[in-house]
Structure 1
Amino acid sequence: MSAREAMLARIRSKLPKAPEEARIAAVDARLKEHPRNLIPQRGQGDDEHRIHIFTEMMEAVGGSVEILTDINDVPHAVADYLRNANLPAHVRRGADPVLAHLPWHRGGILDVVEGRAEESDRASITRAFAGVAESGTIIQISGPDNPTTLNFLPESHIVVLETSALFASYEEAWSKLRALMGEGNMPRTVNMISGPSRTADIEQTIVRPAHGPKNMHVIIVR
């Protein structure tokens, strides 16, 4: 018996001795119904309330938030952010069609390249699949539109979040993902990111970064 088989055997030995068919049917029914867990009241409200709560939660963990009314102003905002952070006017994005069609010339000398993150990249920009107000969390799904490496490799991660994708709770974001992918399908990776990478493993002192970007800047577009 392999180590895996031994582990699974120990787990099975602790399970209730009920008919296997009934247990499988119960699990299938629960998965099919998508029951929602307890949803905090904190994120519930209109667009302005969700923006306020998301901003509060993101800034509480060291991230920054900027609010725009026109998505075409994103290139100028990105150029300003990089300049104020003393970073090169160079940013990498994926093949996301919304980001691809932005008027990047409005960023002046800003150099925008496409593809997966490389070790030399100091900043990246992605478009969020969703945002969760209750915890100030960005949800990203993998794929060529927004490669996962852009979320973790560069020093600074800039995220474009449209208000229509800013939900009160995680459950709403998962419902959107099921509607996009279809029942039983998932992208290779779903990343939930709440602020810059940090750790307090040593003497409970916050250190940035730990395993990802030192800075996270979210541009919310109404």
Structure 2
Amino acid sequence: MPSETSRDIVLRRIREALQKPSPGTPATPNFTAPLFAPPADDLTVVFAESFVRVGGTFIYCASENDFFDQLFALKKERNLEHLYVWEPELKKLLHAGGIVFTGDEAGFIAHADAGLTSCEALVARTGSVVLSSATASGRRLSIYPDQQLVLARASQIVADIGDALARLTRHYGADKLPSMLGLATGPSRTADIEKTLVLGAHGPRSITLFLIDDLGA
């Protein structure tokens, strides 16, 4: 009787293995469980670190008056002559602070140095700003100007993207979500051409977030 070849040995082992009873069925994964453990630190700290890590400029504001001072200083430092603001609540706020801005679309295409918008939420883990088309800023004001400015409150910070979506669903209703939801994670960038990093390829070259502390000490 000819000796077993290597192929015969492998096939025999496979047949023997298939005849053995299979081990216990593994437990069904819990797909609803969070992938990551909750952040150990304060969410404001986690967001600030993540936001700066992806290239954003983070400005903490202890109050609305502090925000006015910080925005005035930023406008002067960056020589922002044309700051566009379209949301009624932001207009009212800046009027109260004596901040000069353009509240309509006059000269928008030619002179949009910067746009100031609100946001829907802030994602601590990724440093992302959640934007939507539901506000008067629409789709353009956070994308077209060279510099993107965002005003947010500490109470808008959530741990993960799933928490942000849940917040939006509670606010608008599952069947009435805005037609556009977007995540701004750092300034617009690409390295598609010869692996050279270019900022502002598809949107603003910079993103600055003013965070007003509305949670207290």
CA 162–141 in structure 1, closer or farther in 2 if over 3 Å, else same: same
Counterparts in 2 of 1:45-56, with a 5 A limit?
45=40, 49-56=42-49
**Alignment length, in residue pairs?**
182
| Deviation beyond 6 Å, 4+ runs, structure 1 | none
- Aligned-partner SS, 1:149: coil
Counterparts in 2 of 1:1-222, with a 5 A limit?
36=32, 38-41=34-37, 44-45=39-40, 49-88=42-81, 90-97=82-89, 99-104=90-95, 106-107=97-98, 110-114=100-104, 118-119=108-109, 120-222=111-213
TM-score between the two structures when normalised by the length of structure 1: 0.73
Give me the identity figure in percent: 25
1:130 CA displacement? 0.3
- Aligned-partner SS, 1:101: helix
Per-residue CA deviations over 1:150-190 (Å, capped at 9, x if unaligned) read 11000001001111111111111111111111122221100
Q: Is the contact between residue 131 and residue 138 of structure 1 (CA under 8 Å) also seen in structure 2?
A: yes
Structure 2 residue ranges without an equivalent (≥5): 1-30
Please report the RMSD computed on the Cα atoms of aligned residues, expressed in angstroms. Answer: 2.3
CA 116–87 in structure 1, closer or farther in 2 if over 3 Å, else same: closer
Q: Distance in 2 between matches of 1:191 and 1:136?
A: 13
Structure 1 residue ranges without an equivalent (≥5): 1-34
Q: Distance in 1 between matches of 2:88 and 2:101?
A: 17
Q: Distance in 1 between matches of 2:78 and 2:201?
A: 19
CA 146–36 in structure 1, closer or farther in 2 if over 3 Å, else same: farther
The amino acid that maps onto 2:144 is L
CA 105–178 in structure 1, closer or farther in 2 if over 3 Å, else same: closer
Structure with larger Rg: 2
